[in-house]
Amino acid sequence: MIIKGFKNVNVYVEGQGIVKKCILIKNGKIDKIVDNCEEAGLIELSADKIVVPGFIDEHVHGANHSDGMYTDPKDPINISKTIASEGVTSYCITTMTQTVENIDAALKNAKQFIDKDMHIGAKAIGIHLEGPFISRIYKGAQVLSAIQECNVDLFKHFQEVSGNHISIVTLAYEENGKELVHYLKKEGIVASLGHTNATYEEAMEGIKEGITCATHTYNAMTKLHHREVGVVGTVLLCDQIRGELICDLIHISAPAIQLLYKCKGKDGIILVTDAMEAKHLPDGEYALGGQPVFVSNGAARLKDGTLAGSILYMNHAIKNIQKVLGLGMTDAINFATMNPAKNLGIFDQKGSIKEQKDADFAVIDKEFNVYMTISEGHVVFEK
């Protein structure tokens, strides 16, 4: 269903906060935001509902039995429909470290789905290539045998197969990453430091070369030590780096979230779910990257106890960070809207409610329960 807009609703407008407005939509864009309107067919909401920008998840592997590495055309459709129920309107299909052949197959499937632009759920706005250019020491739940050094030619191959849809790459800079980071910067692709054993000096060199993001900050990277601050310390110190954060309170403790915020501020944190196929499903045994994953009490782990992604909902991540940091509602929302949009270079189109931007909205209450999700004017979820 395509909507014409909203009438006299509480809406979080960029630069104004939460105000009472009418929103008029035309051709999938926000045409006008006005104080009063008499146009017929606009949606009216109860006083407890708020229209906010649609959430953006730049790092999500899967949900509801589907994964970005699966090659059935039904899988990205299923992921898109499922995560729309969390208020997500845009996301990056996320891959994993596997064989080149398996990555190719996943990229082809992602390309076909992105090119169709079906308006059946959250919109896949690109691909997050997480691996194979990572560290064996900090592989996390990635497949050890498929890890490779950074390689520009191999990346060019992946990008060709994907139809030029790769928009962010997680890499270990210390694994011959200089040339690849140079290339990504030139192509306008986000280079994100993650699954990395880099020292402070190596990480700083990578940042000077063009790295602008850290993948799931704190997790799968060299830790902070008083004689070698590692990647964690580098991320905390460098204002030019935005840090992804899995705010399920399992991957990261509350004090660690508070420390990251103290160092990065309101503009430097990007909420991600890093969710795997068990999201929206009961506890049990599932899979990630061809490895068995056991889900229990909100955590997804490999047999050896290694955390293997999450089962986090994006609206729950926002609620968690608001509670931990004691922030206002709009500041918490920005971590999942404005900040990822700026990170991906799409803030001129998405990430806030402003005239001429995409008509991407989540209708929520003050507890971040989601009642409706609209992607480019299309209702893709309704409770």
Tell me: pLDDT of 290 over 90. no
Mean model confidence pLDDT for the chain: 97
Tell me: pLDDT of 362 over 90. yes
Smallest CA-to-CA distance from 21 within 32, 7, 41, 31 is with: 7
What CA–CA distances, in Å, run from 145 to 94, 150, 276, 302? 19, 15, 21, 16
Report the predicted TM-score, pTM, of the whole model to 2 decimal places. Answer: 0.98
Residues 54-90: pLDDT tens digits?
999 999 999 999 999 999 999 999 999 999 999 999 9
pLDDT class of 237 with cuts at 50, 70, 90: very high
Q: Are 251 and 227 in contact (CB under 8 A)?
A: no
Alpha-carbon span 10 to 48, nearest angstrom: 8
Maximum pairwise Cα distance, the chain: 66
Q: Say which residues have a Cβ less than 8 Å from residue 205's Cβ, sequence separation at least 6.
A: 173, 178
pLDDT class of 281 with cuts at 50, 70, 90: very high
What does the pLDDT read at residue 279? 98
- Give the residue carrying structure tokens 């005239």: 355
Residues 81-115: pLDDT tens digits?
999 999 999 999 999 999 999 999 999 999 999 99
Query: What percent of the chain clears pLDDT 90, i.e. is strictly above it?
Result: 98
What does the pLDDT read at residue 10? 98
Residue ranges covered by each domain of the chain: 54-351
Alpha-carbon span 333 to 314, nearest angstrom: 10
Tell me: pLDDT of 38 over 90. no
Residues 291-336: pLDDT tens digits?
899 999 999 999 999 999 999 999 999 999 999 999 999 999 999 9
What does the pLDDT read at residue 84? 98
Residues 186-204: pLDDT tens digits?
999 999 999 999 999 999 9
Burial 129-164 (b: 16+ CB within 10 A, else e): bbbbbbbeebbbbbbeebbeebbeebbeebbebbee
**CATH assignment of 54-351?**
3.20.20.140
Q: Which residues are catalytic?
A: 274
Beta bridge partners of 62: 67
